[in-house]
Homo-oligomer: A and B are copies of this chain.
């Protein structure tokens, strides 16, 4: 995939340093470069990405739009276990106990969603409510819990339009992510 002396990068600036990009410097530059290469090799009409990695999906959509790549990006919804845990190949690393702890990720997002539907619009307050759920399980170490614009990944001070609540947390040594879209119903 990488010829000797390869030195070309595709970078989506700014967005690549937000959410998971802040925790994983250089990660999204690698993603966008290899995805651009793949698109050039395969020349697909459609490409499917999961909403679970919301930052990745937003960054790929931006890359495709900015560079006029002739491909349509389809973002596929998160699929959950009956428990609510977002499906991920990483869940196989979790013990039965850790799988129970991992439920606080979706739990915190549902709490934010509930508070939002009850009329709370202030992002700091919504995030604080979500963090309480995470803090209740000391075996979960929060990486981030943010409310951002779904397209630019920029933090939103208030939820007065479609917003993304996104979480990343470590359960043991396993880093898990999840997110929900907050809809404002007038």
When A68-B37, A68-B40 are in contact, do A12 and B7 touch as well, CB less than 8 Å? yes
Segment 39-73 of A: residues with Cβ below 8 Å from B: 40-41, 43, 62-63, 65-70
Whether B9 contacts A11 by the Cβ 8 Å rule is yes
4 additional contacts (CB under 8 A) given A5-B62, A7-B15, A7-B62: A5-B152, A8-B12, A8-B66, A9-B10
CB–CB A10/B8 < 8 A: yes
A78 CB → nearest B CB, Å: 26
In contact, A40 and B11 (Cβ under 8 angstroms) = no
* Residue of A11, A65, A152 with highest tally of chain B CB at under 10 A: A11
A36 within 8 A of B: yes
- Check if A137 is an interface residue, CB within 8 A of chain B: no
6 smallest A-B Cβ distances: which pairs?
A: A8-B66, A40-B68, A6-B66, A7-B13, A37-B68, A8-B12
Interfacial residues, chain A to chain B (CB-CB below 8 A):
2-3, 5-15, 32-33, 36-37, 40-41, 43, 62-63, 65-70, 152
Complex alpha-carbon distance, A33 and B10, angstroms: 9
Count identical subunits in the complex: 2
Q: Is the CB of A13 within 8 A of B3?
A: no
Q: Assess the B13–A9 pair: CB atoms within 8 A.
A: yes
* Shortest beta-carbon distance from A174 to chain B in Å: 31
* A124 CA to B63 CA, complexed, in Å: 44
* B68 contacts A8, C-beta separation under 8 Å: no
Question: Nearest chain B CB to A181's CB is how many angstroms away?
Answer: 20
Contact A13 B5 (CB under 8 A): no
Question: What are 19 of the A-B contact pairs (CB < 8 Å)?
Answer: A2-B66, A3-B66, A7-B15, A8-B10, A8-B11, A8-B12, A8-B13, A8-B66, A10-B67, A11-B11, A33-B67, A36-B67, A37-B66, A37-B68, A40-B67, A40-B68, A41-B68, A41-B70, A43-B70
